[in-house]
Amino acid sequence: MAGAPIAAAPAAATAAAQFPQPQRDYILACGGCHGLNGVSNSSLVPSLKGLVGYYLYLPEGRAYLPRLPNVAFSTLSDEQLAAVLNYMVFDIGAGSAPAGTHPYRAAEVGKWRRQPLTEVTLSEYRQRMVEILIDRYHAPAALRGYSASSGQ
Ligand code: HEC
């Protein structure tokens, strides 16, 4: 792998082709930063595995996911993006969303992605939700930081 930057993208695309569509879209559009299984390699990128569904306890958390800049500005259609978010919440985030959570629909995603958060508003918006989720919904404290493995 190392030292073959030209081959890397086609190889990833070929490997991704064997997965169902939403997972494939996740791998290609999100996995480079968030990791194929939602465990990010960088402390600057939040881990999603087993965590991301907690946001769906709050209405503003449900809106948060499609309003994230990298999500909102993705080239995927509203339909594809809804499917990716559902894959992310229910597979990668398995066990973290409240019971009975209904899946994202294209119209809902379309509405929120047109009101994207900016770098200025994002961290404050997130911090407020994260404290509520830890206090009230027993989300793990790992949600405070970006790295699930460090546990902070
Ligand atoms: C270029 C790297 C990159 C890509 C591509 C990317 N993200 Fe992110 N993502 C980030 C960063 C960095 C953050 C932290 C917030 C910010 O700065 O936007 C983030 C935040 C998030 C969060 C918030 C998690 C939390 O606990 O606050 C979710 C959910 C998310 N991204 C999902 C996605 C999905 C879904 C895609 C694909 C459609 C995607 N991201 C594509 C880098 C990326």
CA of 34 to the centre of ligand 1 (A): 7
CB neighbour class for 134 (10 Å; exposed up to 12, middle 13-18, buried from 19): middle
For residues 37 and 127, what is the distance between their CA atoms, to the nearest angstrom? 24
Q: Which domains does the chain have, with CATH numbers?
A: 18-144 (1.10.760.10)
**43-73: per-residue pLDDT in tens?**
999 999 999 999 999 999 999 999 999 999 9
Alpha helix (H) ranges present in 44-118?
59-67, 69-72, 78-87, 106-113
Please name the residue that has the structure tokens 């900016």: 118
Q: What is the DSSP letter of 102?
A: P
For residues 143 and 152, what is the distance between their CA atoms, to the nearest angstrom? 7
pTM of the predicted structure, to 2 decimals: 0.88
Q: Say yes or no: CB of residue 32 within 6 Å of ligand 1.
A: yes
Q: State the amino acid at position 138 in one-letter form.
A: H
CA of 48 to the centre of ligand 1 (A): 9
Atom of ligand 1 nearest to the CA of 42: 12
**126-146: per-residue pLDDT in tens?**
999 999 999 999 999 999 988
CA of 44 to the centre of ligand 1 (A): 10
Q: Say yes or no: CB of residue 53 within 6 Å of ligand 1.
A: no
> How far is residue 98 CA from its own chain's centroid?
16
Q: Say yes or no: CB of residue 97 within 6 Å of ligand 1.
A: no
- Would you say 97 and 82 are in contact if contact means Cβ atoms under 8 Å apart? no
